Structure 1
Amino acid sequence: MPIDPVSPLLRSVVGVRAMVPDDAFTANALGTRREGSGVVIRGDGLVLTIGYLITEAEEVWLTDQDGRVVPAHALAYDQETGFGLVQALAPLGLPAVALGDASKAKIGDPVVFADGTGRSVKAHIVTKQEFAGYWEYLLDEAIFIAPAHPSWGGAALIGQDGSLLGIGSLLLQMSRNGEVADINMVVPINLLTPILDDLLTRGQVAKPPRPWLGAFSAESNGAVVVMSVAEGGPAAKAGLRQGDIISDVRDGEVDGLADFYRKLWQNPAGSEIPLRVVRDGRETWLRVKSADRNSFLKKPHLQ
């Protein structure tokens, strides 16, 4: 019988549980008790997960598939990729899953999507394309798979050769031929390699942060519509409101959510960014004093 390189590695996917203070900036949006998965990527117990699980966490615990619980420390969260790193504070005794090359993965390729409870889904890559998230997040090429895993946050996407192709981020819906199906969005592992050393040594990437507005937006027929704003964030302070349509950044017309982010990120964090806004059919200009998103967040501390 042919050797199966995937099955022995599924035990290296662990449960991740994080406790976040009630007064954390992300507590209302993401909750104070967060649960998901992560995957061991180094023999000393370094675990890769999706960053929203551990943002502002004051306690992190890892659970293996035998139910053994190990304390851990939130090392880093990268806003641009969405990856988070956790270090186990006691031996896990689990093999590391090798980092693969997601750029070589093709549409139609079979994959395994596994969570930390031992549940896995045999899936296929249905598309690889740009993804713009409502929380000021953009991937030039995300991986989308189906059928969807019901416990996607931090789950490991493993290729047929047993290498790690990405980390689960979202459950979405895809419409094709008049039918709607659930799919998972996965952050490609190739985004980790260039930043891993910085995350391990500095807790963040060694480059200037992107400007952040604190606006949660959606795209509707090419228009960027504000759905809500973060309380106390730059957009809220500048008077941006739910229902506003952002039509221009400085003197550049906005063509969709991804274009809005790219125009926004041409400016340094902390700069004042003029936005042309359509509100109740009338145009107005708002000047938003942008910020470094990390300055609003509680920093990780060793348990």
Structure 2
Amino acid sequence: MKRIFGIIGVAFLGGATALGGYKLFVEQPQVVIEKSVEPQLQTVKASYTPAVLNTSSVPTDFTDAAEKTVNTVVHVKNTAVKEVYNPFEEFFGRGNGRSKREQVGTGSGVIISSDGYIVTNNHVIDGATDIEITLNNRKKLKANLIGADPKNDIALLKIETDMELPFITFGNSDNAKIGEWVLAVGNPYNLNSTVTAGIVSAKGRDLEGNTNIESFIQTDAAVNPGNSGGALVNTRGELIGINTAITSRTGSFIGYSFAVPSNITKKIVDDLLEYGNVQEAIIGINIDASYNQIEGVKIGNIDEGSEALKAGLREGDVITKVNNVKIAKFSDLKGQLTAKRPGELVNLTVDRNGTELTKTVKLSKRDSFISESFGIELKDLTEEEKEKRDISYGVKILRTSHPAFKQFKVGKGYVITKINNKEIHSASEAKNILDTYSPRTRKRFILEMISPTGQVERYGF
């Protein structure tokens, strides 16, 4: 019996030794976490006293501005019939390969009067054969194009309706301040009446490579495709800009959007209603582009007989203000002039060799325009010139550089009277039409002209 217990004891001792060795040398330790406790943050005192904000002056509720705006912003649908060339159809004998196809584009617009005038971007309705407006209450109406300014990308539409329409009030875009809250209202991706908020990021912004608009309001309010032509409003619900462009590699909003200032928009609308085209105001000076000081625009030279010369401006003067509005760069000056009409008086503050002077200048009308795409400079005819040629419309050619004009010996002294049978009444109108027929568009048009000898001549391009 003792022998049996001895064997069992030895076996037990051997098993215990083996198990202990396994635990010690073979088995890896297992860690089980039953509860995780977050460490408490350490409080550190610093020699900093935070400022107490007056929250009553900080706008945190945009509902009033949004309510005033959403019903004044409309959806704009444009339908354009464009000619499309398919070389395969021509190759396989299916006609000449050209066919007409309908293209539809969308954007936004802003009602600016109770009787149905609407502002939008020119690029929203450019080339449209049919324009349809959808109000915020889903009612659809046809719109007519009253006029457009491609240079500043603004167009004026009109809808006819028996009811009084809600409309927006123009604000003074010169008074908009960097850091001020703004709302962008439009129809991105066909989403009706979308409101986004941001701040004014910059003013007088000129986009690199953009030769048309040179005085944007920059904001970080989200703007996407379909917002073009929509409203940029302040916290009082006043229109301070027309949303126009975004900077993006993807085509969608990435943080920067741009609007045509309301002062420029209102001036263009007034001109289109009163004159049928935009009256561009100039000082009568050329700018010294080499000037690279921190602020101001330096006068390079002054036109002979100009109002600027009569007012006492001199070559080398640095313009620092227009009517007490600070001028830091050329786009600031451009924006101020674009918002004004010929004949207006402006006070120019200039720095002349360290001395600040103020000169009152009467703005002149720009009467010569250059179509870069066709290398032609045009100028309005005087009433005496019209009477001499016995015509009531037309613009004269100052110079040409296009090979076709040189081939036909068309140049200074010729008068363009019609483009594609449309009577031409101003140099700016002719320039804008010619630019739509730039060589890259491959559109054909016919110029009707009167030669210096009084002969009517027609040329196809």
Unpaired runs of 5+ in structure 2?
Answer: 1-60, 85-101, 282-330, 335-365, 377-400, 406-429, 438-461
Match for 2:240: what amino acid? Answer: L
Could you tell me how far apart the structure 1 residues matched to 2:64 and 2:275 are?
Answer: 37
Q: 2:277 aligns with which of 191, 204, 220?
A: 204
CA deviation after TM superposition for structure 1 residue 149, in Å: 2.1
Pick closer, same or farther for the CA change 1:35–1:2 going to 2, 3 Å.
closer
The structure 1 segments of at least 4 consecutive aligned residues displaced by more than 4 Å after TM superposition are: 270-273, 287-291
What are the equivalent positions in structure 2 for 1:61-210 lying under 5 Å apart? 61-91=132-162, 93-116=164-187, 117-132=192-207, 134=209, 136-139=211-214, 141-150=215-224, 151-173=226-248, 181-206=254-279
CA deviation after TM superposition for structure 1 residue 138, in Å: 3.0
Could you tell me how far apart the structure 2 residues matched to 1:11 and 1:96 are?
Answer: 8
1:16 aligned residue: 76
Choose between structure 1 and 2: higher helix proportion: 2
CA deviation after TM superposition for structure 1 residue 93, in Å: 3.9
Match for 2:201: what amino acid? Answer: V
CA deviation after TM superposition for structure 1 residue 205, in Å: 1.4
**8 Å contact kept, 2:78–2:131:** yes
Match for 1:268: what amino acid? Answer: F
CA deviation after TM superposition for structure 1 residue 54, in Å: 1.3
Give a deviation string over 1:26-52, Cα, whole Å, max 9, x none.
xxxxx9322100010011010011111
**8 Å contact kept, 1:148–1:171:** no
Give a deviation string over 1:194-245, Cα, whole Å, max 9, x none.
332321244321459xxxxxxxxxxxxxxxxxxxxxxxxxxxxxxxxxxxxx
TM-score, scaled relative to structure 1 = 0.63
Could you tell me how far apart the structure 1 residues matched to 2:202 and 2:143 are?
Answer: 35
Could you tell me how far apart the structure 1 residues matched to 2:184 and 2:73 are?
Answer: 10
SS in structure 2 opposite 1:182?
coil
CA deviation after TM superposition for structure 1 residue 5, in Å: 4.2
Could you tell me how far apart the structure 2 residues matched to 1:8 and 1:200 are?
Answer: 25
Match for 2:73: what amino acid? Answer: V
CA deviation after TM superposition for structure 1 residue 110, in Å: 0.5
**8 Å contact kept, 2:121–2:228:** yes
Unpaired runs of 5+ in structure 1?
Answer: 25-30, 175-179, 209-257, 274-286, 299-303
Could you tell me how far apart the structure 2 residues matched to 1:207 and 1:160 are?
Answer: 31
SS in structure 2 opposite 1:20?
strand
1:293 aligned residue: 432
Could you tell me how far apart the structure 1 residues matched to 2:402 and 2:134 are?
Answer: 43
**8 Å contact kept, 2:62–2:235:** no
Give a deviation string over 1:103-152, Cα, whole Å, max 9, x none.
1111111011001411110111111133246463131x211111422232
1:234 aligned residue: none
Pick closer, same or farther for the CA change 1:156–1:92 going to 2, 3 Å.
farther
Match for 2:70: what amino acid? Answer: L
**8 Å contact kept, 1:77–1:85:** yes
**8 Å contact kept, 1:112–1:121:** yes
CA deviation after TM superposition for structure 1 residue 58, in Å: 1.6
SS in structure 2 opposite 1:148?
coil
Could you tell me how far apart the structure 2 residues matched to 1:148 and 1:296 are?
Answer: 32
**8 Å contact kept, 1:128–1:142:** yes
Q: What RMSD over aligned residues (CA atoms) do the two structures have, in Å?
A: 3.7
Larger radius of gyration: 2
CA deviation after TM superposition for structure 1 residue 90, in Å: 2.6
Could you tell me how far apart the structure 2 residues matched to 1:22 and 1:54 are?
Answer: 14
Kindly, what percent of the aligned residue pairs are identical?
Answer: 22
Pick closer, same or farther for the CA change 1:7–1:270 going to 2, 3 Å.
closer
**8 Å contact kept, 2:132–2:140:** yes
Give a deviation string over 1:282-301, Cα, whole Å, max 9, x none.
xxxxx557971323549xxx
Give a deviation string over 1:3-44, Cα, whole Å, max 9, x none.
8244133111000111122149xxxxxx93221000100110
**Structure 1 position 38 matched with structure 2 position 177:** no
Choose between structure 1 and 2: higher strand proportion: 1
Could you tell me how far apart the structure 2 residues matched to 1:94 and 1:154 are?
Answer: 18
SS in structure 2 opposite 1:8?
helix
